[in-house]
Amino acid sequence: MHKSERLFQLVNLLKGRRLAITAKTLAERFSVSERTIYRDIQHLQSSGVPIEGEAGIGYLIADYPLPPMMFTYDELTALLLGSKMVDAWTDTHLGENAKSAIAKIEAVLPKHLKQQHDHSPYLVSSFNHGPQQKVFSARLRSAIESKNIVVLHYQDVESRQTRRPVEPLGLVYWGGKWTLIAFCQLRHDYREFRLDRILDVELTDQHFACHAQKNLSHYVALVKAKYAALAAEGIHGADCDGPAEG
């Protein structure tokens, strides 16, 4: 690890703590000697970083605005790939913000990293998330944030159409499709609704409330418990029913 990167990580580590951390612990963390840590601390202090503490007791930074972040190539690849996924697979508003983030990242890329990024092996396709799904995604995201009941016009796997008032809790990408997780007022239970099977989304002015037994985290916990039980019985994912749809 280069000294500049170590110094940046050192500042980041010290700033994120409420209790002082000793030079010995820092040395072990960065795989350097304690003497190197002492030199790094002195260098940072002389540069104006308000590091508090002393040898044998520990160090921390009470309050200090960090300089602009410096990313490694792999970190930049992850950020850019994630932003491209948001642009391709979510709604137009989030997509525009993702494009803005990508432009800001690319604008400050050093030349050698820009060349590496231009030859990235990753390609994000949006062919299975068309304009209509983007519209529904935006409406549902708004309803989830404001906790408004929506009425779904839905077509199931057997092409049966239903009109369902639901309490939208979250949008989940299962790897191949986006799904709305909602509490169905008709079934009085959690249900999944695939975005590619939604025919229309009506926003209502009715609100709903979440609680310990009705929220996205609770739903995910139930799904994990279900699959853990099936795995214990030796049933593979392909041999069992998934979460209830519709």
Domains and CATH numbers, the chain: 3-61 (1.10.10.10), 73-118 (no CATH), 131-239 (2.30.30.520)
pLDDT(241) > 60: no
pLDDT value for 240: 45
pLDDT value for 137: 93
Q: Which one of 25-34, 40-49, 111-120, 145-154 scores highest in mean pLDDT?
A: 145-154
Check residues 123 and 138 and name the one with the higher pLDDT. 138
pLDDT(133) > 60: yes
pLDDT value for 122: 74
- Cα distances from 87 to residues 131, 145, 162, in angstroms, run 12, 20, 30
Arithmetic mean of pLDDT, 158-170: 95
pLDDT(68) > 90: no
Please, which contacts does 12-16 make with residues 24 or more away whose CB atoms are closer than 8 Å? 12/66, 14/51, 14/59, 14/60, 14/61, 15/60, 15/61, 15/64, 15/66
Quick one: pLDDT band at residue 236, thresholds 50, 70, 90?
A: low
Cβ contacts of residue 63 below 8 Å, gap of 6+? 50
pLDDT value for 177: 83
Check residues 3 and 156 and name the one with the higher pLDDT. 156
- Mean pLDDT of the chain, nearest integer: 84
The answer to which of 16-20, 39-43, 99-103 has the lowest mean pLDDT is 16-20
pLDDT(60) > 90: no
Arithmetic mean of pLDDT, 104-112: 71
Cβ contacts of residue 107 below 8 Å, gap of 6+? none
Residue that the structure tokens 């930049």 belong to: 76
pLDDT(66) > 90: no
